[in-house]
């Protein structure tokens, strides 16, 4: 029996989302027609969680802070029917060059600016992008509660937080932290080791992982241990898929039921991602990949 979990994930009042999400870090094109087609391709392939952030656009050929949200806003103006098909997620709390500001005034302004750029009345999932260690979680919780009470956000998550930081925020909220967005891939196994996935399984929080292909290094092989490349290729040959598909299946195999965010800007690659659902990975496979990634045998 394969460990790969291709079922829909439950996000409570936000409903169900697909096991693969569409991430917008690279969504920097100003060609609105092409951008509409890309979002439609994601939605048509079951990627109904659309994940962006206010800071996206500062890099990856972007033209500045907020420009990716503006691009998505242009898509929604041209094709407003797409809004009802998606769970819209964005993130705030990074304010270059500070670099972080999750103070009540800071996070309220960030959220309201995101709403304006996106051209929507409500953000479905608002995530704190990185922890502001100089804001008390009770103060942040009060601001998030006010935003939710005002109908500006529906649910709250975190990104790049330690389990302790997440629990500190959760302790002050009158509603749950529903998502946790860490980096996770066959080349970056920290959430399995640092308690992030354990906390998700304990609380029912959904992990939504970024960079499941290690920023493309799974495909290029850059910095990849030879043993890991060999193991991925061997499974790929057995399953008649490429290395990237095996790596995506590996992410979907963890029992915390992660959602994998992919950021390809090619509709054909969006469609091809579904091949991961058909990959069979058993315990021998996943532990082979873990040991090859870490370079040491498990005790």
Residues that are catalytic: 56
Write down how long the chain is.
Answer: 299
Beta carbons of 4 and 277 less than 8 angstroms apart: yes
Between CA 258 and CA 201 the distance in angstroms is: 10
CB 41 within 8 A of CB 114: no
The backbone torsions φ and ψ at residue 92, rounded to the nearest 5 degrees and listed phi first, read -145, 170
C-alpha–C-alpha distance, residues 88 and 221, integer Å: 32
Tell me the sheet residues that pair with 206: 179
- CA distances 109 to 1, 103, 113, 265, Å, are 49, 10, 6, 30
Separation of alpha carbons 88 and 78, rounded Å: 16
Q: Provide the sign of the torsion angle of the four alpha carbons 249, 253, 254, 260, taken in this order.
A: positive
* Structure token pair of residue 180: 């946790």
In the chain, where do the E strands start and end? 9-10, 16-17, 20-23, 49-51, 87-92, 123-128, 153-159, 177-181, 206-209, 259-262
Q: Distance of CA 210 to CAs 32, 129, 151, 174, 230, Å?
A: 25, 12, 27, 27, 24
């Amino acid at each position: 029996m394969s460990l790969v979990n291709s079922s829909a994930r439950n996000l409570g009042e936000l409903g169900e989302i697909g096991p693969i999400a569409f991430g917008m870090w690279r969504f920097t094109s100003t060609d609105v027609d092409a951008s509409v087609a890309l979002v439609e391709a994601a939605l048509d392939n079951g990627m109904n969680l659309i994940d962006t952030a206010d800071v996206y656009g500062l890099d990856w050929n972007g033209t500045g802070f907020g420009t990716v949200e503006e691009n998505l806003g242009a898509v929604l103006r041209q094709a407003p029917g797409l809004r009802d098909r998606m769970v819209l997620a964005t993130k705030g709390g990074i304010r270059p060059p500070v670099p972080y500001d999750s103070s009540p005034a800071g996070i309220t302004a960030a959220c309201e600016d995101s709403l304006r750029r996106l051209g929507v009345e409500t953000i479905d999932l608002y995530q704190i992008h990185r922890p502001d260690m100089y804001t008390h979680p009770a103060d942040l919780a009060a601001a998030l509660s006010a935003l939710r009470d005002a109908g500006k956000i529906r649910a709250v998550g975190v990104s790049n937080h330690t389990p302790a930081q997440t629990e500190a925020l959760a302790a002050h909220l009158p509603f749950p932290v529903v998502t946790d967005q860490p980096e996770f891939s066959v080349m970056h196994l920290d959430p399995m080791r640092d308690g992030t996935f354990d906390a998700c399984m304990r609380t029912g929080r959904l992990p939504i992982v970024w960079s499941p292909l290690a920023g493309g290094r799974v495909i290029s092989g850059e910095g990849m241990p030879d043993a890991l490349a060999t193991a991925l290729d061997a499974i790929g040959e057995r399953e008649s898929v490429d290395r990237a598909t095996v790596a995506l299946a590996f992410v979907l195999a963890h029992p915390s039921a992660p959602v994998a965010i992919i950021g390809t800007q090619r509709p054909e690659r969006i469609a091809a991602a579904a091949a991961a659902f058909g990959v069979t990975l058993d315990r021998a496979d996943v532990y082979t990949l873990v040991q090859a990634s870490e370079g040491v045998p498990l005790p």
